[in-house]
Amino acid sequence: MADLRTNFVGIRSPNPFWLASAPPTDKEYNVRRAFEAGWGGVVWKTLGEDPPVVNVSSRYGSLDYNGTRMIGLNNIELISDRPLATNIAEIKSVKRDYPDRAVVVSLMVPCVEESWKAILPIVEETGADGIELNFGCPHGMSERNMGAAVGQVPEYVEMVTRWCKQNTRMPVIVKLTPNITNILMPARAALRGGADAVSLINTVQSVIGVDLDLMAPMPVVDGQGTHGGYCGPAVKPIALRMIGDIARDPELARLPISGIGGIGSWRDAAEFLAMGATTLQVCTAAMHYGFRIVEDMTDGLSAWMDQKGYATIADVTGRAVERFVPWNRLNMKFKTIAKIDQDACIKCGLCHIACEDTSHQAIARSKVDGERHYEVIDEECVGCNLCAHVCPVDECITMQPQPVDGVLTWPEHPSNPARVTVGS
């Protein structure tokens, strides 16, 4: 049985699955249900200064695709809209009853030291295990110079992080916004400010869709819409890349990462771990199916780890990072070719038309004994994988790596006008 326990900058949890700071962690009632369902930890929905913010009605928009609901979700909800004292009392009560679970408190107050100095002891008194600085919320709060407005300026990230480190004994996790050009800048700033860890990604600025009858962006609030924060399965690729960028950066290599962004299954979790995460934060999947989804996440991750011989989460964390390289380090001598399993082929023609119209005309279409027949033209195939992706049948089109004769990267490539000559 794999050991799923995690120790993330001193914060212990029975498994790496935490609920992210979001509506599911807004209240004691929800958090108790989450812990009963088996979640390893929570990041409590962001607390701010009193008076609490006011949220609008109509808050979420969904991206549906081919009948699948919520492959992406956006929201225009702000931070907790309940009085600070209410949240503090509930956090204390929950932490007392679940001492083995991670309870981290997300915070967002104005960018002045007094505000942070004031709230930190109040949170510390609850017995919470750590704080997460919400520098990521991309809507609403950023118009008040908080959230992503801080996260987008590395100097502010560093400054606020430092204030926190100087005013609390609790571990400080800095939550990063993806709405920047280079994730390394705010991550390095957090490190300079003394952050114990980073968590990412927060939501991506988005307009989820347009109501074509009302002619307004969704979700529509009394005839108008505003941009929101995008999350769910669709943002996973963005998150994996940003986590990998941080994990492979020599300066940031030892900065622990809590991975966030579209995690919905144990497989997603394993990928986030492999790219450098130590703990995992989930929100959309829970909002879609309820807290019970954690059961298969822990179960599946554990079974997969057993099968692969990984004993602990630490054995998985960062496993793929050394193979996440700049394009310039890819071997240009490598060649892979599509192969169609004719017995599995259902003759839908999708591989052919995709290749013919949009790629390299490398799948020939013919009739053999009156039956449709599709065949890869090896000489034309560039190994792009498109046919394998459009094929509706698993394992029907497979990519066959060809024997590789040495390594040749672009910097050394004869076609590169600026090539470097090896050994000269």
Partner 1 sequence: MPQGPDIAPGRLTDVELALNFSDAHPPLTHAQAVVEADRCFYCYDAPCIEACPTGIDIPRFIRAIATDNMAGSARIILESNILGGSCARVCPTEILCEQKCVHNTREEGQPIRIGMLQRHATDWQMDHGGQPFTRAAPTGQRIAIVGAGPAGLACAHRLAMHGHDVVIHDRHALAGGLNEYGVAAYKLADDFAQREVDFLLSIGGITFEGGKVLGRNMTVASLRREYDAVFLAVGLAGVRSLGIEGEDLDGVMNAVDFIEGLRSANRQTVPVGRRVVVIGGGNTAVDAAVQARRLGAEDVTLVYRRGAENMSATPVEREWAQTNGVTVRLWAAPVRLVARDGVLDGIEFARGRIGPDGRPAYDPDDTFVVAADMVLKAVGQTFMPDPLNGESIAISGGRIMVDATGQTTMQGVYAGGDCTPGEDLTVAAVRDGRDAAEAIHAAYMAAGR
> Which positions are catalytic?
137
Strand pairing partners for 312? Answer: 3
Strand pairing partners for 197? Answer: 173
Which residue, 71 or 185, is less far from partner 1 as judged by CB?
71
| 378/363 Cα distance (integer angstroms) | 9
Which residue, 37 or 390, is less far from partner 1 as judged by CB?
390
Which residue, 250 or 392, is less far from partner 1 as judged by CB?
392
Report if residue 66 touches partner 1, rule: CB under 8 A: yes
Could you count the other beta carbons within 10 Å of the beta carbon of residue 423?
4
Report if residue 67 touches partner 1, rule: CB under 8 A: yes
| 283/262 Cα distance (integer angstroms) | 8
With CB under 8 A, what is the number of residues at the site for partner 1? 13
DSSP line for 303-333: HHHHHHT--BHHHHTTTTGGG---GGGS-TT
Q: Please, what is the minimum distance in Å from the beta carbon of residue 396 to partner 1?
A: 10
Strand pairing partners for 365? Answer: 374
Q: Please, what is the minimum distance in Å from the beta carbon of residue 211 to partner 1?
A: 14
Report if residue 210 touches partner 1, rule: CB under 8 A: no
Report if residue 364 touches partner 1, rule: CB under 8 A: no
Stretch that binds partner 1, among 138-146, 148-156, 269-277, 348-356 (CB under 8 A): 348-356
How far, in Å, are 7, 15, 42, 154, 285 from residue 302 at the CA level? 17, 10, 20, 38, 19
Taking CB under 8 A as the criterion, the residue among 365, 380, 384, 408 binding partner 1 is 365
Strand pairing partners for 363? Answer: 376
407: tokens are 């390594």
DSSP state of 44: E
Taking CB under 8 A as the criterion, the residue among 56, 330, 332, 346 binding partner 1 is 346
Stretch that binds partner 1, among 75-83, 143-151, 186-194, 347-355 (CB under 8 A): 347-355
Which residue, 292 or 347, is less far from partner 1 as judged by CB?
347
Q: Please, what is the minimum distance in Å from the beta carbon of residue 213 to partner 1?
A: 13
- In which region does residue 372 sit, left (phi positive, over 0), alpha (psi from -120 to 50) or beta (all else)? beta
Report if residue 372 touches partner 1, rule: CB under 8 A: yes
Q: Please, what is the minimum distance in Å from the beta carbon of residue 151 to partner 1?
A: 38
Report if residue 350 touches partner 1, rule: CB under 8 A: yes
Sign (positive/negative) of CA torsion 230, 232, 233, 239?
A: positive
Under a CB-based contact definition with an 8 Å cutoff, are residues 130 and 120 in contact? no
> Can you give the binding site for partner 1, defined by CB under 8 A?
66-67, 346-350, 352-353, 365, 372, 392-393
